[in-house]
Amino acid sequence: MFTVIAERINMTRKRIKKEVWGRNAEFIAGEATRQAEAGATHIDINAGGDPAKEVDDMEWITRVVADAVELPLVFDSSNPEALESGLKLCNRPGTIINSITGEKDRIETILPLVSEYNTGVVCLTMDDTGMPADCDGRMRVTRDLTGALEERGIGLDRAYFDHLVRPASTNPGQARCVLDAIAATRREFPESHICLGLSNISFGLPQRNNLNRAFLAMLVAAGADGAIVDPCEKGLINTLLSSRAALGLDDYCMEYIRAQRAGRL
Amino acid sequence: MFTVIAERINMTRKRIKKEVWGRNAEFIAGEATRQAEAGATHIDINAGGDPAKEVDDMEWITRVVADAVELPLVFDSSNPEALESGLKLCNRPGTIINSITGEKDRIETILPLVSEYNTGVVCLTMDDTGMPADCDGRMRVTRDLTGALEERGIGLDRAYFDHLVRPASTNPGQARCVLDAIAATRREFPESHICLGLSNISFGLPQRNNLNRAFLAMLVAAGADGAIVDPCEKGLINTLLSSRAALGLDDYCMEYIRAQRAGRL
């Protein structure tokens, strides 16, 4: 089972902000449905259009999306009030909070919600000193974060580590240390989940989809069992199914073959 | 620099056998040219249609292909006489013999040609006991092969190790140990080349191209610097360029950007 967190309903995107503020439920429900049909296992909701309206917007989007699809939601905010406003309305099995970092105040304000609502949590491997430049730095933050989770009795099977890739165009070689950190996390904390916000790899390059697909295959091989993506992006779910089939993670390639027969490749 | 050995001119394929035996130079030259234009760095020639005709066919194909393209050739046979008939006609810088294995008689009959003609050599990691089931077995054969090369004064920068992947459909998990063997070979013998006959991964599955692309991205991430492929296969060279760009192996993604501007993605 691979976790596909669908990222399109994000108010930092102009079109989404416009339609949420216009209270266009049909449009937002359509975004949720299309992502679910494309292969999402979770729908991410980011209501960060305007801090003053975030709680209201989170509630409205949550109602619309929960009505449109049966998938668990991912509440995406650094504001505990906004997170809780969503969680109170919809807390299906598999719900995830996105995100904490190794930063002390984020841990202290957000982990209580993870405990209270018994959710999963995306853990970004950066901390008060910033984003580590190498694999060792990412693993240091990973260990700090696992410590913080264990201290509060939150099992590592509820953690989704995201090792934060920088754009290949401006940070050549960063992808390598992300892959190394994924492999190291898989070895050291085998029960944890490992996901990655994929599309940053291709920022600033033409036909970004090509790099997203290639890097997704590499992530799966390195040991990631999740990704934060636009599942409607051409070929992305194809790459995911193909990668799992190639690696023997899809028993006798049946998931791949079923998708092919259904015309979904 | 990634070695793309183009595999289409292979007489175990019906169409190629027919056209070679019909001495259709235009067709064979076209196959060579199309593969070169698609991104091949080497053209493989396999004249194994009929053992009794292999030397004649190898000579004819070599003349046709050498006339059509300026790339180095890869002579693909287990018959030393056939290999030498090609090498005598065309031995450009970068020429490769395909292949030896850890089998004693192949080493003894073929390595003298590698020495005499100063070529590269594809080294398949199987031996007299067969094809190893795991990564350790592949590494044992790799060490036997590096020993045999060093004994004859052949530098490891002339070796192209192929760790032989089995079909994912019937051998789930084999891909994992091939990736592990590639990474181990890259660490232990950093000066060697590592390539792989790609398409076996997808044997028996529909829309094979999907698996080939996903697995190619994984190979590049694991440390392979070559592959034996059909470069005309849709999206394959795109995946290669995208993988190298993502990993920072393509300085500032300039090769990727040039290919995009030229409409080659």
pLDDT in tens, B131-163: 999 999 999 999 999 999 999 999 999 999 999
Q: Which of B207, B242, B251 has its CB closest to that of A210?
A: B242
Would you say residue A173 has pLDDT above 90?
Answer: no
pLDDT tens profile B68-127: 999 999 999 999 999 999 999 999 999 999 999 999 999 999 999 999 999 999 999 999
Instruction: Read off the tokens for B67.
Output: 């006339």
Q: What is the mean pLDDT of residues A15-35?
A: 98
Rounded to whole angstroms, how far apart are CA atoms A113 and B42? 58
CA distances, B33 to each of A20, B66, B203, B231, B264 (Å): 54, 10, 26, 11, 16
Between chains, do B248 and A174 touch, taking CB under 8 Å as contact? yes
Would you say residue B173 has pLDDT above 90?
Answer: no
In this prediction, residue A147 has a pLDDT band, given cuts at 50, 70 and 90, of: very high
pTM value > 0.90? yes
The three-class DSSP label of residue A229 is strand
Would you say residue A3 has pLDDT above 90?
Answer: yes
Q: What is the mean pLDDT of residues B16-45?
A: 98
Residue B205 at interface with chain A, using a CB cutoff of 8 Å? yes
pLDDT score of B143: 98
Find chain B residues with C-beta within 8 A of A251's C-beta.
Answer: 172
pLDDT score of A37: 97
Q: Which of A224, A171, A220 is nearest to A200 (CA)?
A: A171
Residue A251 at interface with chain B, using a CB cutoff of 8 Å? yes
Average pLDDT score over chain A: 97
- 3-state percent breakdown (helix, strand, coil) of chain A, nearest 5: 55, 15, 30
Burial pattern B117-150, b for ≥16 Cβ within 10 A else e, equals: bebbbbbbbbbeeebbeebebbbbbbebbbebbe
Q: Which of A179, A205, A248 has its CB closest to that of B172?
A: A248
pLDDT tens profile B181-226: 999 999 999 999 999 999 999 999 999 999 999 999 999 999 999 9
- A39, A234 Cβ separation under 8 angstroms: no
Q: What is the mean pLDDT of residues A133-152?
A: 97
In this prediction, residue A209 has a pLDDT band, given cuts at 50, 70 and 90, of: very high
Residue B180 at interface with chain A, using a CB cutoff of 8 Å? no
Q: What is the ipTM of this complex?
A: 0.95
Q: Exposed, middle or buried, B8 (CB in 10 Å: 0-12/13-18/19+)?
A: buried
Find chain A residues with C-beta within 8 A of B175's C-beta.
Answer: 246-248
